């Protein structure tokens, strides 16, 4: 390994833990340009993918499409909860308008494949994480949100259809507040080293 590669890897090892999730309501312009979004998604495509199935799709919702998306959210919510109150509806509408950039991530499994569905869904989650890391590497903050719209079939049908599922809404932009470290579990609670049982 060359000295340059070593230095790059050392920088990367220090850089990856610096990523923090941001709240979409605290994201302001600038967000990634269309060209930057393409770079982010191209980077995320290096996700582990058993069978080379690419069981994920990403859809960018432009700023001038947010009102239409909010209408879709509201119609779907009222269909499910016709007596919804004003504050509920405002919260649903806000989800469509937050952050400069909104990417809708769909888990898009390949049913004909021998690769188990669970593995395809895991790959989709890894794809989402790589989107966030790629955005972070370009200086943007990101947040991966689900909430009610992610689990509603009518909202899903705005972007695709069964058997696809919305894996999340990925919001990208610039944080208008300083990001702070959140509590993390103790490493010893997560990491252990296997000790095989002794055999007689």
In this prediction, residue 108 has a pLDDT band, given cuts at 50, 70 and 90, of very high
CATH architecture for residues 23-59+99-175: 3-Layer(aba) Sandwich (3.40)
Whether 82 contacts 19, CB under 8 Å: no
Compute the average pLDDT of residues 97-120: 96
Percent of the chain scoring above 70 in pLDDT: 94
Residue boundaries of the structural domains of the chain: 23-59+99-175
pLDDT digits (tens, 9 = 90+) for 89-105: 999 999 999 999 999 99
pLDDT digits (tens, 9 = 90+) for 5-58: 445 656 767 778 889 999 999 999 999 999 999 999 999 999 999 999 999 999
Q: What's the pLDDT score for residue 135?
A: 96
99-102-107 Cα angle (round to 5): 145
Measured CA to CA, the distance from residue 158 to residue 164 in angstroms comes to 12
Whether 56 contacts 167, CB under 8 Å: yes
pLDDT digits (tens, 9 = 90+) for 67-86: 999 999 999 999 999 999 99
Measured CA to CA, the distance from residue 83 to residue 77 in angstroms comes to 10
Whether 88 contacts 81, CB under 8 Å: yes
Q: Is the peptide bond before 163 cis (omega within 30 degrees of 0)?
A: yes
Q: What's the pLDDT score for residue 6?
A: 45
């Amino acid at each position: 390994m060359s000295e340059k590669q070593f230095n790059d890897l050392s920088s990367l090892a220090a850089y990856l833990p610096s990523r923090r999730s941001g709240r979409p309501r605290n994201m302001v312009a600038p967000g990634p340009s269309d060209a930057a979004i393409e770079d982010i998604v191209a980077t995320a495509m290096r996700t582990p993918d058993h069978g080379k199935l690419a069981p994920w799709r990403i859809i960018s919702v432009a700023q001038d499409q947010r009102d239409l998306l909010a209408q879709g959210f509201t119609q779907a919510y009222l269909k499910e909860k016709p007596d919804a109150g004003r504050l509920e509806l405002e919260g649903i509408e806000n989800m469509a308008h937050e952050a400069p950039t909104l990417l809708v991530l769909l888990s898009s499994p390949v049913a004909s494949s021998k690769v188990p569905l669970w593995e395809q869904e895991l790959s989709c989650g890894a794809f989402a994480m790589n989107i966030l890391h790629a955005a972070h590497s370009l200086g943007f903050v990101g947040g991966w949100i689900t909430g009610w719209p992610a689990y509603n079939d009518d909202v899903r049908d705005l972007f695709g259809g069964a058997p696809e599922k919305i894996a999340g809404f990925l919001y990208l932009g610039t944080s208008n507040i300083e990001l702070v470290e959140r509590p993390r579990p103790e490493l010893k609670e997560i990491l252990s080293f296997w000790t095989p049982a002794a055999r007689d």
